Amino acid sequence: MPRTFNPGHRPSQPLYPDDLVYTTVAKVESYLQLPEAKPTALIGDTTTATENAVSIIKIPIAGADYRRWGFASGDVITLYDNVDALGCTLTLTGIESTGSSGGVTLKAANPGTAYTKANEANVQPTTILSNSSQRGISKAQVENLIRRRQDYIDRICRIAWRPRLVVDEYQNFTTFKPYRRRYYTDYVGAIYLRNRPIQRVLRMGVWQGDKYRELAASRVRLVLKDPHLFNGTDKIFLCPNIAHTATLSSGTSGTTWAKDFGVKTIASQIASLINEDADASKTAIQIGSMTDNGKALNVSNEFLATANSDEGDGNVLISSMRSTDEGEDATIATTNLSCFDLALCTTVNSVATSTGSTFNVTDGSGFTQGNGLYYYGTGASIKVARCTRDGNALTIVEDLTSNFQSGLSANVTDIFQTRFDSDATDEQRQKDWWSMEDNGAIMFNNQYPFFENHSIKLTYVYGERYLDKSIEDACTKLVALDIMMTDDYTAMFPEGTQNVDLPQKITKLEEEVKRILIPYQESIVVAGMGG
């Protein structure tokens, strides 16, 4: 039995749990009125270099100064000397040791100006809080406090000012049809989600007596057949119709899925890896080298997985995080069809009529436009590549098994592609269903569930898109309170006959935060038997 138990689905949580949304370290610093960081003298002249085709500046400082101030990638610094008194503001991109000299080099984008020791060049952090272990509370500790307080505010207010994910919320369905007036003709029933406002409905399964019909997602079901046939190098590939591919390999690390168990546990392993479930000791898998706003685009940003449970033991339901029509262009492939079946999807095929890095098929119209995964072979010998399509011509842009091109045979090789699929068209008022985001209502028109308990299963993202300044203020003050309550750091705050003593400050601040949050807290009304 694996050491970590996991139920096989992504927990309900912030969509980006590590992001600092409600406040920042700089805002906490400003509120506490902490003193500026002291400048650090350079031990030599700045130099320039080229790394990854980008010109950078190298800033030499003493090792003792580095350890004292805890410079790190992402920190913002000011660099100046007597010639350039205003200096420049830079974001550090790297840190490296100078070797036996005991110095440290800070790296940043080249500002185009040189700074010299002779002109008394200095580097100064823009924040007093850093990740140094020599100066009390660290920047990383304050960031963790912010994350905790963001969760606290979401819980007590029952609203979020950031996107939060809710997985598998069950709802009962009741028709309004017997009670509606003649002129209410555009829906037969409705449900109200437990959280609002709705940002996007990712999945909506409606019970049809023997299965859940999916109305909001494009998905595929990965069915595990015989785990004894896994060969140790098995892979699952996912492509969300972009010029990058995610590779999920079998193995024993946090970036792989374990194959040495039964189908139920293996399915849970795969789902945890896709979901980037930290509780199951799984870490992020990047989709190729794709980035979004400077951050890596991971599998968990594009796909959502659920294993076992309603899907059946040994089944992994993988759905696209994109809208239904976009999600239908996502493709999947595996290297071992002896162990996997693919269901709830669209699989098309065509015969290759030529070979090479660009080859033709008899009819490419069924394949996805743009980038998609293609495969051929039998059993445990599957060859996979990401290709682009122009009519009936396919161009190999990423050979994922290193032998795709070499195995092609004209008029012999049958090329396959498996695309995600959905059971209905996308959300529209005149089609199957539509949502009213602000009040969390889902209206059903043509397709709707059976009139039974728990007949609707929803996964969605909710949260306000605008962060109220009052919430920012409350989060900042809550983090400041946490710092003040830690005795080890009380020396950071001045006291004296002219100042309010620290315990009194804490009491007043607690009362102020409560007053700020009261208007945002929603009440829950529980109806009685006749309600």
Span 381-400, pLDDT tens digits: 899 999 999 999 999 999 99
Q: Is residue 356 part of a domain?
A: yes
- Tell me the sheet residues that pair with 190: 443
Average pLDDT on 135-145 reads 87
Q: Are residues 308 and 371 in the same domain?
A: yes
Q: Is residue 426 part of a domain?
A: no
- Give the pLDDT of residue 209: 82
DSSP character string of 227-249: GGG--S--EEEEE-SSS--EEEE
- Give the pLDDT of residue 500: 60
- Give the pLDDT of residue 49: 95
Instruction: For residue 175, name the pLDDT band (cuts at 50, 70, 90).
Output: low
Domain, as residue range, for 382: 219-419
Instruction: For residue 6, name the pLDDT band (cuts at 50, 70, 90).
Output: low
Structure pTM? Answer: 0.84
Q: How far apart are CA 340 and CA 224, in angstroms?
A: 5
Mean pLDDT value across the chain: 87
Strands 164-171, 219-224: pairing is: unpaired
Counted domains in the chain: 4
Q: Is residue 134 part of a domain?
A: no
Q: Are residues 101 and 193 in the same domain?
A: no
Q: How far apart are CA 371 and CA 350, in angstroms?
A: 17
Q: Are residues 272 and 402 in the same domain?
A: yes
Distance of CA 311 to the CA centre of its chain: 23
Q: Are residues 16 and 74 in the same domain?
A: no
- Give the pLDDT of residue 404: 96
Q: Are residues 155 and 266 in the same domain?
A: no
Instruction: For residue 496, name the pLDDT band (cuts at 50, 70, 90).
Output: very low
Any idea what the CATH number is for the domain that residue 119 is in?
2.40.30
Measured CA to CA in angstroms, residue 253 lies from 118, 280, 285, 373 at distances of: 51, 11, 12, 25
- Give the pLDDT of residue 81: 95
DSSP character string of 425-437: PPP-TTSSEEEET
Q: Are residues 439 and 340 in the same domain?
A: no
Q: Which amino acid makes up residue 310?
A: D
Encoded tokens for 417: 């592609």
Give the residue from 400, 413, 401, 403 showing the smallest Cα distance to 359: 413
Q: Are residues 75 and 207 in the same domain?
A: no
- What pLDDT, in 10s, does the model give residues 278-304? 888 899 999 998 888 778 889 999 999
Residue 17 has pLDDT above 60, yes or no: yes
Exposed/middle/buried for residue 414 (C-beta within 10 Å: 0-12, 13-18, 19+): exposed
Average pLDDT on 25-36 reads 89
- What pLDDT, in 10s, does the model give residues 410-443? 999 999 999 999 887 555 555 678 788 888 888 8
Question: Which one has a higher pLDDT value, 242 or 131?
Answer: 242
- Give the pLDDT of residue 469: 95
Q: Are residues 6 and 23 in the same domain?
A: yes
- Give the pLDDT of residue 443: 82
Q: Are residues 363 and 475 in the same domain?
A: no
Q: Is residue 424 part of a domain?
A: no
User: What proportion of the chain, given as a percentage, has pLDDT over 90?
Assistant: 60
Q: Is residue 413 part of a domain?
A: yes
- Give the pLDDT of residue 438: 82
- Give the pLDDT of residue 504: 83
- Give the pLDDT of residue 529: 43
Exposed/middle/buried for residue 245 (C-beta within 10 Å: 0-12, 13-18, 19+): buried
Q: How far apart are CA 483 and CA 302, in angstroms?
A: 37
Residue 186 has pLDDT above 80, yes or no: no
Please give the helix or strand (H or E) that residue 517 lies within, else none.
helix 502-517
Q: Are residues 40 and 186 in the same domain?
A: no
Q: How far apart are CA 161 and CA 475, in angstroms?
A: 12
Instruction: For residue 176, name the pLDDT band (cuts at 50, 70, 90).
Output: low
- Of 440, 462, 484, which marks where a domain is finished? 462
Say which residues have a Cβ less than 8 Å from residue 258's Cβ, sequence separation at least 6: 2, 250, 251, 252, 265, 266, 269
Question: Which one has a higher pLDDT value, 10 or 318?
Answer: 318
Q: Is residue 135 part of a domain?
A: no
| Least confident window among 95-109, 328-342, 349-363, 479-493 | 479-493
Q: Determine contact, residues 310/270, Cβ cutoff 8 Å.
A: no
Average pLDDT on 435-461 reads 82
Q: Are residues 457 and 389 in the same domain?
A: no
Q: Is residue 490 part of a domain?
A: yes
Q: Is residue 326 part of a domain?
A: yes
Q: Are residues 51 and 109 in the same domain?
A: yes
- Give the pLDDT of residue 347: 96
Give the residue from 232, 217, 331, 311 showing the smallest Cα distance to 271: 311
Instruction: For residue 447, name the pLDDT band (cuts at 50, 70, 90).
Output: low
- Give the pLDDT of residue 179: 45
118 CB-side CA count, 13 A: 1
26 CB-side CA count, 13 A: 6
- What pLDDT, in 10s, does the model give residues 65-86? 998 888 989 899 999 999 999 9
